[in-house]
Structure 1
């Protein structure tokens, strides 16, 4: 009944990272139907109703008993306070790897669903798919369409575990992977990256916070136009703006070696492709180092990021990168970056039924240990576009970076992206 974690998934056990999905709606909500919808999803996604347990030299997912499986919790209170509380509530090893909490405003006309999912069982795409599936099931229930049938006698069926993504990748040969690892270790040794120093100092109540950058429809569209005209991706433009903002927080004007870490989705790169709703972490990373001066040309930075990432994917080095993931704890510089730029691209937003208005939707990564004693670290930016509007989330720990520091960094990035957007060619005038 247990499902052993592959070496790549095992790495996430130590990282204690998770995805926090939130969707805020306005209108009348049937709490019972939403609880049933969440039950249906956890029944169909066996990984969501497990705990992490030790298994030999590694770890495994163990099914929870029926009385232990996650259920929708409902509370009444301030939505902002509830969100901050969920952002700071861990998913500890040994407990359920998923949690869902619905907070309703005292007035009863606004509600926020927060779903937290351990990174051991999800990546960004599957986390979004889980959130959307809960709303799909809810919509079907309140519209009178029959939900999936319960297991016979109300008993939980045996899990049908999703296969780890590392088992779906082609075999590259141990010698080739060893050579790739050696090359990566040597490059990291020759090109150590600079990190941004913490500014928070002593903090009485250290906790996770998040600042957010959003672009409206027009600026998001214009940013895409600029990317197309320059022959780069929106992700590359975001990375260039991040690197420029980070460089301004380092001393001197001369070029400094900065690192940019980008996730690479593997779901579409295996055969057959892995559906978004299959709850496995199906992602690896690409780290590149760049020499960045205070007056660096941001379009050149974007072009470099875009080209290198494209070459990494085209050469299928992402297979080697996935294979060497278990070596990262012994070689942490393999993922040491000045900025971490995740980019989910354009994602579908939840579709509540008629009578409920979707007010907001967010995806924020969080973890349990930010190591303030290190004195410096990468800055993380999580970009995702719901309904065509770009949002970038900056989660941080207040014992590392102060809220004012992160707001200033966010504002600089916003100005940089708006400048990119404003450089787009104007739309043609309507005929006539």
Structure 2
């Protein structure tokens, strides 16, 4: 199953904005020490007779901290900098002026060896180790990282850790899922950018951009309280806001069948659970198709989404989804949602030494290949709650969706979430964040 991530060329891009001085040599030492403890972080993808495999990089080619000066486009450039097949699967970049008091740390990790939980854990481990290096004094900064054995102990593939099952039951599950997608195909979000033509020579080069909304701590708390009091989930409420915003950008006044794809964490549901420190992709997905109208009730949609996801996990279908993943390239509809709601839940941010603080943390999915010629695609939304504030990131490629289109969609989702927590009807217009 793990080899399916190779052609996707997707990556998790984490970043944290920092206020205060950063000791770049100490951070470099911390990064090398942490990567030395996880052999998958020191690998690249190579072709073998049986398919792609991970192989340790030669020592001079292993990832080291990169430093670069701050400029207006530095984060966007790092977001658009791919992790190519054959190169390192992780990259760490410190953006800022030496001796300055504002920096941005960007960590990119290939999806072949990570999921959201392990990527966030890796980010936090690097900063934990940074504090330890600083606390150990100047000599620790120059200490070489632990040696990496050339015959490493690799983590077990997650697909080998699943509970046993009857192959006939898995085949039956695949038949049912295939029939469901055939009977109720979901609509996708049409692109608003026309296909490129030879006459478009003056058009800016397309790139990945991100529209972002961020609730403040009070509104995040109100959203959680609403979910608790109504028996719903924050994940379902966000999914409902995404679906209604997308439906309003499709033609017709009646209902359309849309699909919400919800990634499901597998590592916490294994026996025994798999630690978030293990750098593997331990995630599968649940796809639920439902009818959505431009004026559908978000609370009703959230209730249906939450019930469907809960039943899926209770039945153990998330394990079956992982078992049938090798069929996805032959039948992409098995994981073709109108929206992809990658809700990470409440997650901890980095703990930093005194004098340095985090002002923002972000997790943005990105990939190398986008297909504007398809004319439509799912909407990707990455939902996180760092430091008590819920944020939704909308990464998109400007050859498919324009900046203006995604900003308007983002505002629509934001307005729906704020309306849900506006108990007295006196809320001023929403503040949004690019």
Measured against the shorter chain, the TM-score band is over 0.9
1:56 and 2:49 aligned: yes
1:56 offset after TM fit, Å?
Answer: 2.0
Structure 2 counterpart of 1:104, from 76, 96, 101 = 96
Structure-2 residue corresponding to 1:167: 160
Instruction: Report if the CA contact (8 A) 2:128-2:351 is conserved.
Output: yes
1:106 offset after TM fit, Å?
Answer: 7.2
Helix, strand or coil at the partner of 2:13: strand
Report matched runs for 1:208-357 at 5 Å.
208-357=208-357
Helix, strand or coil at the partner of 2:73: helix
So what's the TM-score if we normalise by structure 2?
0.93
Structure 1 counterpart of 2:15, from 8, 13, 22 = 22
The separation in 2 between residues aligned to 1:117 and 1:137, in whole angstroms, is 18
1:157 offset after TM fit, Å?
Answer: 5.3
1:304 offset after TM fit, Å?
Answer: 0.2
Structure 2 counterpart of 1:121, from 110, 113, 128 = 113
1:422 offset after TM fit, Å?
Answer: 2.1
1:407 offset after TM fit, Å?
Answer: 0.4
Structure-1 residue corresponding to 2:392: 392
1:57 offset after TM fit, Å?
Answer: 3.0
1:151 offset after TM fit, Å?
Answer: 7.0
Helix, strand or coil at the partner of 2:60: coil
Structure-2 residue corresponding to 1:378: 378
Instruction: Report if the CA contact (8 A) 1:226-1:424 is conserved.
Output: no
Instruction: Report if the CA contact (8 A) 1:151-1:157 is conserved.
Output: no
In structure 2, the CA distance between the partners of 1:180 and 1:138, relative to structure 1 (3 Å rule), is same
1:160 offset after TM fit, Å?
Answer: 2.1
The runs of 5 or more residues in structure 1 that have no matched partner are 1-7, 426-432
In structure 2, the CA distance between the partners of 1:171 and 1:150, relative to structure 1 (3 Å rule), is farther
The separation in 1 between residues aligned to 2:266 and 2:405, in whole angstroms, is 34
Structure-1 residue corresponding to 2:188: 195
Per-residue CA deviation, residues 97-153 of structure 1 (Å, 9 max, x unaligned), is 111111114772211111110000000000000000000000111122779x8677x
Structure 2 counterpart of 1:11, from 4, 11, 24 = 4
Helix, strand or coil at the partner of 1:362: strand
Per-residue CA deviation, residues 213-265 of structure 1 (Å, 9 max, x unaligned), is 10000000000000011101100000001011111011111110001100000
Mean CA deviation greater in 155-164 or 284-293 = 155-164
The separation in 2 between residues aligned to 1:358 and 1:170, in whole angstroms, is 40
Instruction: Report if the CA contact (8 A) 1:212-1:410 is conserved.
Output: yes
So what's the TM-score if we normalise by structure 1?
0.93
Structure-2 residue corresponding to 1:144: 136
Instruction: Report if the CA contact (8 A) 1:52-1:61 is conserved.
Output: yes
Structure 1 counterpart of 2:77, from 78, 82, 85 = 85
Instruction: Report if the CA contact (8 A) 2:118-2:276 is conserved.
Output: yes
- What root-mean-square deviation, in Å, do the aligned CA atoms of Structure 1 and Structure 2 show? 1.8
Structure-2 residue corresponding to 1:73: 66
In structure 2, the CA distance between the partners of 1:356 and 1:180, relative to structure 1 (3 Å rule), is same
Per-residue CA deviation, residues 298-341 of structure 1 (Å, 9 max, x unaligned), is 11100000000000000001111000001000001111111010
Structure-2 residue corresponding to 1:46: 39
The separation in 1 between residues aligned to 2:148 and 2:419, in whole angstroms, is 58
